[in-house]
Structure 1
Amino acid sequence: NKMTIINNEIKNAIDLIWNNKFKEAEEIFSSKSSSTPRYSLHNAETAFLKSFITANELETENALLKLKQTKELAEQSIRIFESNKVPQNYFPPNIKTKEDFKNHILDCKIVLGDSLYMLAVLQITRDHKFKGCFNLRKSWKIFEDTLRQVKDDEENGFQYSSDLTELLRFGCGFFYFAVSIIPQKYLKLVELVGFKADRDMGLMYLKDCLSKGGIRTPFATMVILFNNLLLPRGLYNPTHQLNEAQQLIEKNLEKYPYGSLFQVMGSHCYRKQCKIDMGLQCMEVAISNCNSLSKAPLIYKYELANCYCIKLQWDKAIQVFEELVKEEKFQIRALCSLQLGSCYIINGQKEKGIQSFNNIKNFCKKSSSVDIVINKQAQRYINNGGSFSVLEVLYLRRDMAKMEKSLANKTMDILNSIGKKLGVDKPIPQQTVQPISNNTTINNISLSTSSFLSRTFSNLTKKKEEIQQNDILIHDRAAYLLLKGAIYKSIDLYDQSMECFEELLSMSHLLTEKFYIPYSYYELSEGYYHKKNNAKALENILKCNKFTGYEWEDPLKVRLRVTLDQLKRDGAGISNDDYSDEDIISNNGNVNSDDLLLEEMNELEIEEKETQLRNKLANNSNYNNKQTPQNNSKQQIYYLENNQITSPHLINIPSPSIIQDRSCDNKNFIERVPSL
């Protein structure tokens, strides 16, 4: 159909957004955003993108407000259109035919679905997980009903605007992708209320948008880059994803030379290739391109500081982190203070480091589960001196894996120097090792004027201090082994790496800081995989997966989810070291992806009804057996097992023509940006 809904004014304004001309774009969209949902959505979307660039709480609040207004306007416009009327001041005003009405109703429904999932993304990133999941469900219902309606109408001979069908496919793709990256603990909730995480389906729709070249092409590109560069690749060779990302970045920087978001992705792409200097230059260009923003690009500056940390340039990192912790509305202020303190300590400024750790409690948000973990880690570093803190943060951020070999060797020298100073560069003598539980009776001793009790209390106090020192020694040795193993692995010395993790696990019964254990099992799994021992790799990953309730659990669980699925595929004998996770998408056959999505949604509708029925039966059973706790417990376990999450099924689709298999030619993204 040649009818178009998206006019040139909207197209030009969207180009302005992706070329960092946010103010100019907002002026265009705001002129009609109070009366026309499409304009309102893109006005809110501008705020949505800026909120991620600045990580400023006020910008996020503004984006949330605009998205809620868009949602309400879309709902109101749908009701008016369905009563065969045109909303007041709606643009364009000349809507008269049945075809016009059906297309604009569809546009309003797509806007409603888009606004709901963007709301959900912001809510989930702010730790309002239940609100986010609720809005994701509402978004899914909108897209499900809309896609089914479009398909039915087209089968009956009605053709919608091609602009709208492309926007619908983008909305479906973004939705499926967003669901797939929800943290594991909330994914169960999402799947139980009626839909699955299916990243492959989402990427299929997003890549289809790339080939169309419409207004959603840059947004779809950004989501694909996020998938390729920021999400875990697990065990598979990342070369394909890096090649694809580099091509997309270069192509978009030709069109949007001031596009800071693409420069940031260029930085991540270079860092993934261990080209830290080029990654750092990309960040500097991205920051310089944001001079016109009303709020500083704080998240860009944060990434710049992390580039300095990878290069072991502590003074430069400190300078940036000091600036960031002064920003009262910066959403990751607590994390910056943790990293600032760790940089101070490695730089020989221990007092400043401890003070920075102490300040973290003032920056923590009650609603943030991440801030709670950060504060606990800060207290741990205060207690043990934080000698390994900066290296632990590098490890947890996966930045050690991005170091060039020369930097990795320097990091190993730093680690060994710290280990030798603390006396943990060699195995701890057996007679020194005592479990911390030996001091449990100490706190129950009451003071007495009796000399006997005084001597006893004095001895117990000394014993307690000795045990606490031993505990610090044990955990310092654990940190040393984890970090040494990670550095060895980063330079492909897998045997030496695995020896470190094996020794660490032999100390597991002595550790109260449990995150070392699952991380070691995970690292061993990767080691065995690279040694082509898939059975041992799977054994260790399953051991890792059994652990819960430890610090820094969420980042590892995301990697676990990817890796476990890959090992299951490998068990079927369909992969090797050169196998990329993109290879699960085949070039064979032609698939109607709309039919696939409708089939998927029908399955989800059935699953939702089955879930409701099982829950009802479970509740009835629990009520009837409430006098028999043992039977009740078994009944609950039975239903829990039947509701276990299954891995997303694989979909065969043609590879988009834009993606070509070629080696990286390492063109310099920076050369494409004119100096300001």
Structure 2
Amino acid sequence: MSSNGKGTPAPDESTRITLQACLEECMEAVDLFLNNHFSESLDKLRPRVNESMYHALIYATVLEMQAMMTFQHDDIARAGNTMKSAQEVCQRFRRKSFSLSSKSSGDVLTEEQLHAEACYAECLLHRAALTFLQDENMVNFIKGGIKVRNSYLIYKDLHAFIQSHSSLGGPNHFHLEGGVSFGIGAFNLTLSLFPPRILRLLEFAGFSGDKDYGLSQLRDGATSFSLRSMLCVLLLLCHYTFLSFILGTGEGDVADAEKLLKPFLVRYPRGAIFLFFAGRAEEIKGNIDEAVALFEDGCRAQQAWKQFHHMCYWELMWCFTYKRIWKMAYFYADLLSQESRWSKAMYVYMKAAYLSMLPQEEDRPFGDNEVELFRQVPSFKQKIAGKSPPTEKFAIRKARRYKAGSPVRLPVPVLEMMYMWNGFTMIRKRPELTKGMLETLVEAERTLQDNPVNEYTVDDRCVIQLLKGLCLKNQGQTQAAEDCFNKVYSSEKKIKFDHYLVPNALLELSLLYIDLGRREQAVKLLQKAKNSYKEYSMESRTQFRIHAALSKLQADTNDTDESTEL
């Protein structure tokens, strides 16, 4: 019996099943998971989590996915502990004091030891993701960064090792290659999204991910039908349909997402995960009714994991927002406030926001009152390991004005939050939806002009100008859009509360200039937005989007000069 570097005995040879049998059983568990049989999937994996690196890894990965949907501290902690245990199982299979980059011919790894390296690196990667999820403070960013760096170095060595040992083969080799494709792809894609100053905090100074290379590695992994195909597919779908909108400039490649989804929708026609992403793809195309039908199908497809329902409710809420059907949007915000633990403050804020969009004389559902709801928002503030989600902080700040005995109404709180989730990009292909939003904004502007001036007036006018600019840009009225964004920028010294408006107006103006081919002006504005404003609401999200725009222009010369590709 062999042992690892710490003297822990390796699994007993007589009871251990073969690597191939482990992989086959784990593939069956993944198949169950994708077919909505979540409990059965975990039941299949559980008996061998202490003896098989793959059973341990996939079991912990399923719990991690659940934690990412619930966002509950207990689920995140449990997933983290399970992933740590999985890492310890993988460690038992690793070769003691071995360097993959060593050129010594005596250093030959067995097939199982190579797989152990890939599984160990994957555990580190997952644990880093959970660390960030659990607490966004700087200490945990650094801790997570160390795990990320160690994981990256193993993947880098494995990748080079596989490339230089082309004679490696065997029936399980494609699973190993799939694992390395996932790791290298995940690193390159994820790091390409991060602004350089955040990479430096993560101790990744001097590195930047190659987005295109990352995407190509993930596509290779997604089409390999290996154990990691699911992870590669899900990460790609997240990138195409979410990350490129929330942290980017809103140019997700829907065609690529649909091409990726097609075989999985054929194989898993009732798979809740794939119905959800299919709905999101339709939403991005502006096909809101088709998206609603798919999200509703996703809810009907399974009842075991309510968390999937909450993801669908969230998207349904926005779909009805784009159509300005405020009461239906309110209905989904209400469901989320009752069932989901992600951010009750956010859901109650959205409930109040939707009610505030209704005419004063119209009856409110359930006898709710928006002023009372806005006043409740701060009481639902949550601390996830000492930290509140940025969108929750934003909602609490915006609701503060309702503390007053005679509060000053927020003019368009729904549309303002819609901007935070890049929702105006969703309706750009639907002129009638943009037209409706513009009508709502013009009406809000008229109401503001009719009301007496107060301490919030300038901020409220600027909110409306920013959002009007986005609608006008959607309509191709570029000069009018430019005027709106410039009005916000020129009001910089008069804005009292909503300091996020100026850097975002500069960002939107620069994106408009990019579309018009005015590249140099765009770069100057992006650099100003990036460097001249600090400590405003949703800053990190704005910084991610600025970085995405600069990357698109390949103009951030100071940072690209000092970086090397992974």
Q: C-alpha distance in 1, partners of 2:81/2:225? A: 30
| 1:386 partnered with 2:413 | no
**Residues 55, 298 of structure 1: 8 Å contact kept:** no
| 1:21 partnered with 2:37 | yes
Q: C-alpha distance in 2, partners of 1:237/1:53? A: 23
Q: C-alpha distance in 2, partners of 1:130/1:384? A: 42
Deviations 1:282-341 (A, max 9, x none): 1111122231237663222222222222221211222221222234x6122222222222
> Which residue matches 1:330?
341
Deviations 1:259-298 (A, max 9, x none): 2222222122111111111111111111222312376632
Give the 5 Å matches for 1:147-162. Answer: 147-150=159-162, 154=165, 159=169, 161-162=173-174
> Which residue matches 1:545?
530
Q: C-alpha distance in 2, partners of 1:542/1:326? A: 43
> Which residue matches 1:356?
373
TM normalised by structure 2 equals 0.83
Q: C-alpha distance in 1, partners of 2:250/2:131? A: 33
Shift of 1:235: 9.4
> Which residue matches 2:480?
496
- Residue type of the alignment partner of 2:336: L
| 1:486 partnered with 2:466 | no
Q: C-alpha distance in 2, partners of 1:380/1:20? A: 44
**Residues 184, 557 of structure 1: 8 Å contact kept:** no
Flag structure 2 segments of 5+ consecutive residues without an equivalent: 1-18, 99-105
State, as a whole percentage, how many aligned pairs show the same letter.
20
**Residues 120, 136 of structure 1: 8 Å contact kept:** yes
**Residues 410, 460 of structure 2: 8 Å contact kept:** no
- 510-519 vs 192-201, which moves further: 192-201
> Which residue matches 1:300?
312
Q: C-alpha distance in 2, partners of 1:56/1:311? A: 31
**Residues 121, 155 of structure 2: 8 Å contact kept:** yes
> Which residue matches 1:61?
77
> Which residue matches 2:352?
341
Tell me the matched-pair count.
517
Match of 2:126 among 108, 114, 118: 118
Match of 1:413 among 439, 444, 447: 439
| 1:516 partnered with 2:501 | yes
**Residues 197, 648 of structure 1: 8 Å contact kept:** no
**Residues 14, 25 of structure 1: 8 Å contact kept:** yes
**For the structure 1 residues 169 and 480, does the alpha-carbon distance in structure 2 shift closer, same or farther, using more than 3 Å as the test?**
closer
| 1:212 partnered with 2:258 | no
Q: C-alpha distance in 2, partners of 1:184/1:486? A: 28
- 288-297 vs 35-44, which moves further: 288-297
**Residues 248, 544 of structure 2: 8 Å contact kept:** no
**Residues 67, 118 of structure 1: 8 Å contact kept:** yes
Shift of 1:381: 6.1
User: What secondary structure, in the 3-state scheme, does the structure 2 residue paired with 1:117 have?
Assistant: helix
Q: C-alpha distance in 1, partners of 2:387/2:74? A: 16
| 1:567 partnered with 2:553 | yes
Match of 1:316 among 293, 317, 328: 328
Deviations 1:239-271 (A, max 9, x none): 8x1211111122210111122222222122111
**For the structure 1 residues 199 and 230, does the alpha-carbon distance in structure 2 shift closer, same or farther, using more than 3 Å as the test?**
same
Shift of 1:114: 0.9
- 43-52 vs 346-355, which moves further: 346-355
| 1:287 partnered with 2:299 | yes
TM normalised by structure 1 equals 0.70
> Which residue matches 1:477?
461
Shift of 1:64: 1.9
Give the 5 Å matches for 1:91-130. Answer: 102-126=110-134, 127=136, 128-130=140-142
User: What secondary structure, in the 3-state scheme, does the structure 1 residue paired with 2:397 have?
Assistant: helix
- 181-190 vs 414-423, which moves further: 181-190
**For the structure 1 residues 647 and 232, does the alpha-carbon distance in structure 2 shift closer, same or farther, using more than 3 Å as the test?**
farther
Give the 5 Å matches for 1:629-644. Answer: none
Flag structure 1 segments of 5+ consecutive residues without an equivalent: 83-97, 426-465, 573-640, 652-676
> Which residue matches 1:618?
none
**Residues 183, 554 of structure 1: 8 Å contact kept:** no
Shift of 1:510: 0.8
Q: C-alpha distance in 1, partners of 2:402/2:539? A: 18
- Residue type of the alignment partner of 1:375: I
**Residues 207, 563 of structure 2: 8 Å contact kept:** no
- Where relative contact order (Cα < 8 A, 6+ residues apart) is larger, the structure is 1
**Residues 484, 497 of structure 1: 8 Å contact kept:** yes
